[in-house]
Amino acid sequence: MGEAVRRAYKYRFYPLPEQAEQLSRTFGCIRKVYNLALDARTRAWAVDRQRTTYVQTSAWLTEWKRATELAFLNEVSAVPLQQTLRHLQSAFAAFWDKRARYPRFKSKRKSRASAEYTRSAFRWRDGRLTLAKMSAPLRIVWSRPLPEGAEPSTVTVSRDAAGRWFVSILVEDATVQRLPPVDAAVGVDAGITSLLTLSDGEKVTNPRHERGDRRKLARAQQALARKERSSRNRAKARLRVARIHARIADRRRDHMHKLTTRLVRENQTVVIEDLSVRNMLRNHRLARAISDAAWSNMRGMLEYKAVWYGRTVIAVDRWMPSSKTCSACGRINTAMPLNVRSWTCPGCAVRHDRDINAAKNILAAGLVER
């Protein structure tokens, strides 16, 4: 039996008015500390070419809390403030390793409202969770039970744009076990008409969650545009738009979880393309459909579930001509416009479905790399 998997369980909760006020204040302080630290680190590099660390930003936080104009930082738990400095350090590490862009400042409207509490900043007793600076436990809707005997190591509280409150509880989950090995391997070609095409010939229909609510979303956005800025009615209209977006995202996420879990359970090896979704979104004619397909989310889910269950995910080169190559004889065609959905190989006369052929080539390339 291997080590227990660290897994986050996410739940809705309904804060009391004083809890909501305390958490909102905490979100604001986190944003302030993050921006202060980012600005200080940027200036330290621009002026002195000094690369600062988390330890130095933590010392700065102590000084900031002593300043009269920043005394409000003492009204919230210190742990989420320290955690945001650790997150900033991780963002800089990703930038230095050329895995991400330079860290950006958090804005009040666009940044995710969340706070991370480590073990010293919450109390877990008899299935009741109480955060630091709060006298009452959170009213959590336990939509599914935590693993028996699980002890939370980290708790993250967040509020989405639709005004919903969530708590994510990180525990060691001994119930997640490696699956018995199987001989099956599958190549996956991501698409828009078909969300996925598998090398065994199966095509997974694209639910097009965004398209289903597009008319309702358009009406809500038009109503928002007509409201006076900074008015109460505009805030209500913005909330209606956010709720429609949340409904779309929830349905998309649920479908993607079910699909990726099935692929990982049924196959020992899953081969995908190393797609650059960010670059593909620059095609404005396809950007909406590509965003709705959520290919990046699918890859992330496949990779962490493969780790959980003892499977392998392989990403092949995005420049491989998977659609133009005959999976039967290996002949590469010079051109293959997007409107060509099936074709006959001039070399071996085999008739191909474009997407199934691409999935077969992706699988073959992945098995060679393995």
In this predicted structure, the answer to whether residue 186 has a pLDDT above a threshold of 70 is yes
Average pLDDT on 65-90 reads 96
Encoded tokens for 162: 């639709």
Q: How many CB atoms lie within 10 A of CB 147?
A: 16
pLDDT given at position 322: 87
pLDDT given at position 368: 84
pTM: 0.85
Q: Which among 116, 189, 210, 292 is annotated as catalytic?
A: 189
7-10: long-range contacts (C-beta < 8 A, 24 or more apart)?
Answer: 7/170, 7/171, 7/172, 7/173, 7/176, 8/156, 8/168, 8/169, 8/170, 8/171, 9/144, 9/146, 9/168, 9/169, 9/171, 10/166, 10/167, 10/168, 10/169
In this predicted structure, the answer to whether residue 109 has a pLDDT above a threshold of 90 is no
Give the pLDDT confidence of 286-304 residue by residue, as tens digits: 666 656 567 788 889 999 9
d(C-alpha 191, C-alpha 205), whole Å: 10
322 compared with 20, residue with greater pLDDT: 20
Task: Please report which confidence band the pLDDT of residue 339 belongs to, taking 50, 70 and 90 as the band edges.
Answer: confident
Give the pLDDT confidence of 215-229 residue by residue, as tens digits: 999 999 999 999 998
Beta strand ranges found along the chain (DSSP E)? 5-12, 113-118, 122-125, 128-131, 154-159, 165-173, 185-190, 194-198, 203-205, 269-273, 312-316, 342-344, 351-353
Give the pLDDT confidence of 240-267 residue by residue, as tens digits: 999 999 999 999 899 999 999 999 999 9
Q: Annotated catalytic, 273?
A: yes
The one-character DSSP state at 349 is -
pLDDT given at position 5: 86
d(C-alpha 111, C-alpha 108), whole Å: 6
Q: Does domain 178-206+250-370 have CATH number 3.30.420?
A: yes
Residue whose entry in the numeric block shows the structure tokens 């190393």: 274
* Backbone dihedral angles phi then psi of residue 122, each to the nearest 5 degrees: -150, 160
* Backbone dihedral angles phi then psi of residue 260, each to the nearest 5 degrees: -70, -35
Q: Domain residues of the chain, as ranges?
A: 5-173, 178-206+250-370
Residue whose entry in the numeric block shows the structure tokens 């302080």: 29
From the list 339, 360, 194, 205, the residue with the least C-alpha distance to 273 is 360
Q: Annotated catalytic, 213?
A: no
Q: Which among 116, 210, 273, 292 is annotated as catalytic?
A: 273
Residues 6+ apart with CB under 8 A from 324: 332, 333, 334, 335, 336
pLDDT given at position 281: 56
Encoded tokens for 305: 């579930």
Q: Annotated catalytic, 355?
A: yes
